[in-house]
Copies of this chain bind each other. A is one copy, B any other.
């Protein structure tokens, strides 16, 4: 189903559905949780598919635009993506001491965000809420 969404998006922008883009989409669909572009590259290589690093980096923004994935976390100067699955959407508590990441879901926060957007006439397609601090173990 995300394939047709992606295809739609490409057509709308006058872009083409190439084997490389299909391969990236498929691999993305198979991902669980956060992933980095480089991880996609490795997995595709392992499958014997040759999709260049450049193509992967060129495809990811298209997938974001079409709402198939979203930028989930920026850490160590790397962008991690995540599939957009309304069911599993969550945000993150990030411990800056031990690096652990706690996922949490808060429907009320999501609802308030929607309201903020409505108030500003803003059409959101994704968001990132990162709360930084110390986890229970690392707290003083």
Copies in the complex: 2
Chain A interface residue bracket vs B:
35 or more
In the complex, what residue of chain B is closest to A133 when comparing beta carbons? B124
Q: Which residues of B contact A127 (CB under 8 A)?
A: 129-132
Q: Which residues of B contact A122 (CB under 8 A)?
A: 93, 95, 102, 131, 133-136
Using a CB–CB distance below 8 Å, which chain A residues touch chain B?
65, 70-71, 74, 77, 93, 95-96, 102, 104, 106, 108-109, 112-113, 116-117, 119-136, 139
Q: In the bound complex, how far is the Cα of B135 from the Cα of A80, in angstroms?
A: 24
**Contact across chains for A106 and B116 when beta carbons are under 8 A apart:** yes
**Contact across chains for A117 and B131 when beta carbons are under 8 A apart:** yes
